[in-house]
Structure 1
Amino acid sequence: MSEWFEQSFGEDYLIVYKHRDRYGAYEEVQQMISWLHLPAGAKVLDLCCGMGRHSNVLADSGYHVTGVDLSEVLLSEAEAQDIEQRVRWVRSDMRSIPLDGGYDAVVNLFTSFGYFDSDEENGRVLHEIKRMLAPGAPFIIDFLNPSYVKRNLVPYTEHKEVGLRIDQYRKIEAGYVKKEIVITDAQESVRRYHERVKLYHLDAFRSMLSEAGLHIEQIYGNYDESVYEEDTSPRMIFVGRG
């Protein structure tokens, strides 16, 4: 039986998350650049690049970018947006990346972590980030803030898109934040997808990073550069070095 992330990141994902555009990615990348302090032409790995929004903007900013993702559909969309073919696109599981290290930076964005059941499997992702980095090179891991999610979870939303009704159900259960996405077309045909992220609070995440040999320099609460606050920050953005 395939994992949820092997089923959910397909054509329907592009519809559900259509609102996440390149302009938003541009603003986030400009902030990341100020945190990374990279020279022009630096080698950047975007791990779990999805549809390539951030990878393409990083390439716009003058970096040599490699985008890695497991989804063939999302990589195809990323390549279609990469009109000048500046980014190297690689299909891979994030736990075992078929690349040599030596990158000047690694970024892991939009809560692309915590997909696996065990701490060991999630920890393997951090070890791969460490392996990909040149000695002392910076990384960014953009994760949700579990405390904020618990306080602000919206159990249900509905919207319509290109002849579809999209219902999203959210809950916190057994240490995970879970989402069920139900897409109903005009003929009342239903497609269901699930998303699940393990909730790692700050101390647990800090311990996992340390075990992988990744050193935290700053934790931001959002891309506005606000310092992380457990009760109020929507994000938990780790900036550090390998």
Structure 2
Amino acid sequence: MQKDKTNWYASWFNTPYYHILYKDRNHREAALFMNALTNFLKLEKNDSILDLACGKGRHAKYLYKQGFDVTGVDLSEESIAFAKQYEKPRLHFEVHDMCLPYPKKFDAVFNLFTSFGYFEKEEDNLRTIKSVKAELKPNGSAVIDFLNVEFAIKNLVPKEKKKIGDIVFHIEKYVEDGYIIKNINFEDEGKEYHFVERVMALTLEDFQRYFAEANVDLKNVFGDYHLNNFDKNTSERLILIFN
């Protein structure tokens, strides 16, 4: 069985299977969320946006089409190599570690679709937030789109199977040592594969603590992609807007 030996996100995100498993993500919902965010933040055409942990660039490409100057960065070399085929004068992609400040300042920094809390060391969460603050122009705003862990844990499905094409993904979810863990097992072309997703079970209070340490001001908290108010018992998302 082939197993990853580095940080899980560095290996899993670099495989084609990650993109196969999540290929049916809701593009319409993503577009509605981007529209709601950019309108709420009063971003204007040609304003600059950093898409932090952009994957293959689906959000970045949409934001570019809406008239923004977009830079997408991600740790996955394969994802960035794929995204680079879409580059244009105001749409750029680059391999970058989000724990470190990107050497440019933006009107907005977006960290979307639970692309936070992966690290082995908790201090890397704080380093990332400090880096985001350093990437903002004086009146810029940042967004972290995270899952609402209280809701996620309460509604956790311990085991499920997903058949996509010829591959059957066996998925197991559980909570352990402060992480929500997803084990992913499948077979393809006679080989067995095992990958793990681990995301810290960070609450609103955890983020508030990080923000205080990073000297960041939390401005708004929303609970879904329509920017309704956050309720820890019923909201699926934890969307944080800060500067």
Q: How would you bin the TM-score normalised by the shorter chain? A: over 0.9
Q: Deviations over 1:189-233 (max 9, x none)?
A: 211111101111111111102221221111000012210001111
Letter of the 1:18 counterpart: K
CA distance in 2, matches of 1:235, 1:31: 15
- The alpha carbon displacement at 1:168 in A equals 1.0
Map 1:53-202 to 2 at 5 A. 53-80=58-85, 82=86, 84=88, 86-97=90-101, 99-185=102-188, 187=190, 189-202=191-204
* Contact 1:159 1:165 (C-alpha < 8 Å) held by counterparts: yes
In the alignment, does 2:8 pair up with 1:4?
yes
- The alpha carbon displacement at 1:77 in A equals 2.8
Letter of the 2:173 counterpart: R
Q: Which range moves more in the overlay, 111-120 or 37-46?
A: 111-120
CA distance in 1, matches of 2:29, 2:80: 19
- The alpha carbon displacement at 1:238 in A equals 0.4
- The alpha carbon displacement at 1:170 in A equals 0.6
- The alpha carbon displacement at 1:111 in A equals 0.7
Letter of the 1:185 counterpart: D
CA distance in 2, matches of 1:124, 1:220: 23
Percent identity over paired residues: 33
* Contact 2:32 2:226 (C-alpha < 8 Å) held by counterparts: no
Q: Deviations over 1:90-147 (max 9, x none)?
A: 10111124x3232100000111111113321111110110010011311111011110
* Contact 1:143 1:236 (C-alpha < 8 Å) held by counterparts: yes
Q: Which residue of 1 aligns with 2:214?
A: 212
Q: Structure 1 residues 192 and 85 mapped into 2: Cα distance closer, same or farther (>3 Å)?
A: farther
1:228 aligned counterpart, secondary structure? coil
Letter of the 1:7 counterpart: S
CA distance in 2, matches of 1:65, 1:79: 13
Alignment: residue pair count: 238
Q: Which residue of 2 aligns with 1:235?
A: 237
Letter of the 1:45 counterpart: L
Q: Structure 1 residues 185 and 100 mapped into 2: Cα distance closer, same or farther (>3 Å)?
A: closer
CA distance in 2, matches of 1:135, 1:96: 19
* Contact 1:22 1:57 (C-alpha < 8 Å) held by counterparts: no
- The alpha carbon displacement at 1:163 in A equals 1.0
Which blocks of at least 5 consecutive residues in structure 2 are unaligned?
none
CA distance in 2, matches of 1:151, 1:26: 28
- The alpha carbon displacement at 1:85 in A equals 6.2
1:136 aligned counterpart, secondary structure? strand
* Contact 1:35 1:239 (C-alpha < 8 Å) held by counterparts: no
Q: Which residue of 2 aligns with 1:226?
A: 228
2:20 aligned counterpart, secondary structure? helix
Q: Structure 1 residues 24 and 75 mapped into 2: Cα distance closer, same or farther (>3 Å)?
A: farther
Letter of the 2:10 counterpart: E
Letter of the 2:239 counterpart: I
Which blocks of at least 5 consecutive residues in structure 1 are unaligned?
none
* Contact 1:79 1:85 (C-alpha < 8 Å) held by counterparts: no
Letter of the 2:210 counterpart: M
